Structure 1
Amino acid sequence: MGNTNTKETKRKSRSASKAAAPKSPVQKIQAQQEVQESAKPNVGDSSSQKPQSTKTVFESSQDTKPTYRIPALVFHENYFLAFCEKRFDGHWDIGKMDLVLRRGHLGDDGVKWEPEVTLYPENDTDKLMRPMNPVPIVVGEGHIILMFNTFPKDTPEKVIKATPTPPGKLPLWQLLIKHSTDGGKTWKNYQQLPVGDIFSGFNSVPSTCAVGPGHGIKLESGRLVVTGNIAWKGEDNRPFAIVSDDNGDTWKMGGEINLPELNGNSVTGNECQAVEVAHNYVVVNCRTLGTHPRIQCYSSDGCDTFGSPDSPKVMRALKGPKHGCQGSILGFSAPLVEKETNDKKYWALLSNPHSDKREKLSVLLSRDGCKTWPYQPVVLEHKGSAYSDLTGFTQDGQQKFACLFERIHANNKHDINFVIFTIDFENLK
């Protein structure tokens, strides 16, 4: 966890465990607007649960064509990098799409956002594919990686998932990566990752694959980690991790991520993110489908293996919408406050809709390696809201956080909003 923005199969074994019981102290979190228009942001707290002011970074047209979805956010060298999908045919996961970026400079008077730029497509052939699921990673010293998937533009997800990949052949989907060495000002042309090699430990390449979405991480060791979900025809989706030990030049499969059980049945994982809470100790927090709560899977060796010493868990305390929703998880160095017995070196924040609907985007805090999330959720957006991504940074010696998230309006109009908030660590109890 080298900085505060992110620290930074047909396989078989599965095991069950019970989620830890939550505690009850109330956490006070201050949320504030810090944008170009306001040098003195408004401040609210969790006791009043007032909606917080936000900045719309990507604003959709009223007819939702285009509309913006699937945010991803990192912070590096006083710049926020906000990525998302620009969908020209509505909010659904199909049709013409671009992958876009805005950079925002953090100054004393707030965040000044640069114009939107398109990162994909790069040529006419690319326009036959739809780019999805941006996963940025800050490597350091201006080096930023962006990983994402592409799929045939007009082919539905269910058709892709139902199309098996013959042995020795490539799937319908692609896994691409772009590099920037100047903090996201300019980007090299994308490279297509060799998915046949990455997934060589399986009988065949998965029928479908989706990384992230949202930021990947860099471990204390320097290893890069990207998580996502994969599936073969006729099988449920399951989480996976790929890792790089050479700053993103090459990638390999991490360990098998076993799934927890609930009432005797495996709970399948979907969209996910990872966080490092101690040296090489990684937690993967996953969306589930249906009516199941979120799940978490654990690695004590930097994602080489999962499930030991901690088994995967169903996190009953982590509410979410019916049929699930993506969430973001972020690690940051534990502040200088009185420590508790189970405190980890790095604490974690989780953002997701804390409701049975896509609304009430909230932030939760864990101090014990994501085993419990005992503090009162703080609502960043009361109204329609869904996917999100978190990052952290230090300004004037103070630890701060930012969230980039989907704000859902009438007619499924999705804007991408941005808010900065702080945590009152001295009053956690």
Structure 2
Amino acid sequence: MFIDHPLFNKAKNILIQLENEGHKAYFVGGCIRDMILGREISDVDIATSAYPEEVQQIFPKHFDVGLEHGTVMVLSNQETYEVTTFRTESGYQDYRRPDKVEFVKDLSEDLLRRDFTMNALAMTKDGEIIDYFAGQEAIKHQEIIAVGIADERFNEDALRMLRAVRFAGQLNFSIESETYDAIAHHAPLLSKIAVERILVEMNKLWESLHWQQGLSAFYQTKLYQYCPLTDSLAKSFEHLLNDFAPSTPFNEATLAWTLVLWFQDESAISPQKFGKAWKMSNANIELINDWLTIIQYREQHNDYSNWKLYQLNGQLVQDFEDFLCEQQDAHSPFGNYFSPAMPDEVTKQYQDLPIHSLKDLAIGGREIIQSFAPKNKRLIGESLKWLEKEVVCGRIVNKKDLLLSELSKSFNWKG
């Protein structure tokens, strides 16, 4: 089969060089799956019978990222490629990383250690697909099926359970019954996994087009009970599954996390507490707090005053109104919590604000010192904050002479 894809064609030379030295080499994994599905491919992975030191000799331009696992990063055509030796793994005492890695010469042994049949595919440089575990059939029927015995796969690496859920959302696939039952049975093992890894998978799920498909499995298999602070948020997940229009993704995972907190009953978990438990960045915790403030305000009001729009994160307000508009157009229950969305009006209102931050004022602290030489230095900050609100609310025009004139009349600079 002719491969008509620039990423494969560009990387083909790696396979050719390995084969010229007497080794076997294949494209492997998710890139094959995505090629079959016609999805965008971001990178390609290569597996080979060559040992790491042999790969290093064949490709002088390389750097080592995981030699103990057989991986060498090869530089070719101004690109980097992950080239990994066929291997088997055993002894997963921490339910994530293998205690023992053994290099092998047989491709089938390497593919057997992979998570799902749709990912256990290999392809030659000429486009011939090698499929030992009916992965193409699984893709055809849109099923996520564990390679071999599902119980063993999840005991080896408990994060695979969450990967199954995430793939369900990304691909709109169902999880095959035995694989699904194994996830439900082994769900407690998820508590053994580093929360940072769980967060990565959940964020990918939230930003998937069919996130409800994955979230349903996450909820029904009880995986949520073994994630930080979510064991008490069952009602939130029920609302997320029932109150939103299908196929309307969250452009920001932080909005989804915000709604998890907004829908909570009596738990009253703050964004700070929740974000810290999930080891989110401070920036994302702040975003969740901003989203929550916007949603809570919007629930009680039909519009935004200029000052409120200025105080809130203006871009997030516009993003929320866009999201709300989508939900209301689809007649989702979530849309009924709010008065009609107004994305165009809010965008224009925000653009028309006289300033968008304190630094947009026509004067700053230097001009105040030069004009009034205040003895009480706290007046500098207080007067700027006062001007900020007066200008935003349209009571003072943002011009230097007018601002200084108003300050002269409104503050006691000699005190």
Q: What is the TM-score with the length of structure 1 in the denominator? A: 0.24
Q: Which has the higher strand share?
A: 1
Greater C-alpha Rg: 2
Q: What is the TM-score with the length of structure 2 in the denominator? A: 0.25
